[in-house]
Amino acid sequence: MRYAKFFSILLVLGLTFTGAIFAQDTNAQEKNKQAYEEAKKAYELAKQYVHSRKWEAAVEAFQKAITFYQKHKGEYLDDSLYYLGYSQNMLSNQLKNLEKQIEAKELAIEHLNQLITQYRESPWADDAKVLRVEIAEELIKKGVPDFRVYIDGRLRSLESLQALESLKALKSIEGLEGLAKLEDLKALEIDEIEGLDELEKLKVEEALIGLEKLEALEDLGGVVVLDDLEDLPVLGIIGGVEGGVEGGVDTGIIGGIIGGIEDEEVDPEVELKLVALDALMNMEEEKAFPILEKIVLENENALLRRRGLIILSRSKNPKVFPLLVKIAKNDPDDKVRQHAILQLGRNKNPEGLDALIEIYDTVKDTKEKQVLIHSISRYKEKKAMDKMIAIAKNDPDARAKEAAILWIGRQRDKATTDLLIELYDKAKDRKLKDQLIYVISLKREDDKAYKKLLDIAKNDPDDRTRKNTIIWLGQMRKDNTGIQALIDIYNSEKDDQIKDQLIHTFALSKNKKAKEKLLDIAKNDVSAKARSQAIFWIGREKSEEMLDHLFTFYNQSKEKSVKDQILFSISQYKSKKAIRGMIAIAKKEQNPELKKQIIFFLGRTKDEEAMKFIREIIEK
């Protein structure tokens, strides 16, 4: 009886506790529902603020919505991140304080980056990339150069970084101390290097593949000496004008095939087997070969198959070629297949090109097509060129088409210029046209290519295409004819955005005529906006001659907006001459807003003369 009473008490307590938990759970659900409704209201209200251009209120409302959506994985998070970045940028344009403008724009880019990296498939991602470029351009004009990477579209892809790291890793390997040039690396015969263990051999193999990748991507920036890799920035050479890697000219021919050797875990026993097999291949290949053959064909571990393939592909055994073809066609893992395709391109077996073309005609995956194009491009036969032309003309895969076009553009044969112009004239897709413009510009000394781009820059009905063409046209001719043509376009141009791009092109050029035109615009252009733009780029040069020009322009200018830009450009100089010049301007300047701006800039210099001048103002 006593036990029954005891269990009754337990039952009551259990039911009470369960009821409490249930009540708490119900309360939590109710609170979540309320929070969700509040977040949705905040989101809808924020969009209304956007439509009514109440930017500060919009920023606050989107931040509130995002806080909830991040916590509860709400459905409007990508939309909210885009609109938050957009609203912060619009708000910055209303702010009078320069530092607050910059801060708001930097926050806008931060939120756009979050959208681009975390929600790559979002319909807002492309819009975010375009907006990011626009904001970055404004930040550069305000003296924050760190954001140039978004304009140039030169952010190196992860694959390029891995390839670069694989090359840098060679410096840590004993026995390669005398290796100085990348050309020396290409000539390496791995099996002839004494004292390398299996992991070191794999690193060298990775470096060779990495070098191929960087060359294919044109990401080496002219580096020829291994030591110079330390100074190679995390920037590519090829870039479009919109939104980083994805928004620019996509030249990623070998994407994600080879990860770093040490990034993937391998069972220590398996690693030991590989070391032993590699050693056996060097001593008794006839015994090791069938074991490795079985591994690459039958082993369930894709990484092990891939590593086995690296060892096997170094063999001169005639059985290697048909084995590579079989793996390239049939392996279930895409990285293993792509590895085999790369090796077929390096194998240079006379039948290899036929095999690669046959595989290409059956493949649908874009990345695999790009790898195949790279391997086909290593063959210098007419059949390889014919295949590339067929892909460029007829392949429905836009990325594959772009990769083939890029390879065609690198050929020195002038006959390819006619083909590229023909492809451009038939192209409807804007991204493809951008790619073709860039590739045509590679024909730097080809008169026909130059005239085609000049015609596009002058006459194309799409202003964005004209702007893109002007970028590459400015880099084509080393003599004065190219710059003079752009000057002629500027002098007759009515569109402000095209003029902005031309000013930017003059600023980037090392041509004397371009510099003279930039100074002429800064001094004489009827548009205050154009003068401000030219002054911004003149100020970036940081030479004493240009500083003198800035002081002259300040004394000649009447518009406050132009004077604002001149003061900002002068403030970027840290010399005594610049500081004393600003003090002299401040003493004469009648406009209180401009005077406040000068004092703000002087206060950031920590210069004794500047501090003395500021104290004198305080003590008056």
CATH code (residue 126): 1.25.40.10
Please write the tens of the pLDDT for every residue from 72-91. Answer: 656 678 888 988 999 999 99
The answer on 170 and 143 residing in a single domain is no
pLDDT mean over 426-432: 85
The answer on 196 and 143 residing in a single domain is no
Of 152, 167, 200, the one marking the end of a domain is: 152
The answer on 34 and 148 residing in a single domain is yes
* Among 180, 263, 167, residue whose Cα is nearest residue 208: 167
Of 134, 152, 170, the one marking the end of a domain is: 152
The answer on 42 and 79 residing in a single domain is yes
Give the total number of structural domains in the chain: 2
The answer on 131 and 102 residing in a single domain is yes
The answer on 140 and 110 residing in a single domain is yes
Domain carrying residue 192: 158-239
Secondary-structure percent of the chain, ordered helix, strand, coil, rounded to 5: 75, 0, 25
In a domain, 197, yes or no: yes
The answer on 86 and 35 residing in a single domain is yes
The answer on 148 and 57 residing in a single domain is yes
In a domain, 584, yes or no: no
The answer on 89 and 202 residing in a single domain is no
The predicted structure's pLDDT at residue 69: 76
Across the chain, mean pLDDT equals 76
The answer on 121 and 102 residing in a single domain is yes
In a domain, 257, yes or no: no
Radius of gyration of the chain (CA): 31
In a domain, 113, yes or no: yes
How long a stretch of residues is the chain?
620
In a domain, 415, yes or no: no
In a domain, 130, yes or no: yes
The answer on 141 and 53 residing in a single domain is yes
By CB atoms closer than 10 A (0-12, 13-18, 19+), residue 246 is middle
Of 100, 131, 152, the one marking the end of a domain is: 152
The predicted structure's pLDDT at residue 263: 41
Angle 209-213-217 (CA atoms, 0-180°, nearest 5)?
170
In the chain the first and final C-alpha atoms are separated, in Å, by 97
Rounded Cα distance, 316 and 320, in Å = 7
The answer on 137 and 224 residing in a single domain is no
Quick one: pLDDT band at residue 2, thresholds 50, 70, 90? Answer: very low
Rounded Cα distance, 578 and 584, in Å = 10
| 433 backbone dihedrals φ, ψ, rounded to 5° | -65, -40
Q: What is the 8-class DSSP label of residue 159?
A: H
User: The whole model's pTM is what?
Assistant: 0.55
Please write the tens of the pLDDT for every residue from 4-62. Answer: 443 344 344 444 444 444 444 555 566 566 666 776 777 777 877 887 788 998 898 88
In a domain, 112, yes or no: yes
Please write the tens of the pLDDT for every residue from 244-292. Answer: 323 333 333 333 333 333 344 556 666 666 666 667 666 677 888 888 8
In a domain, 200, yes or no: yes
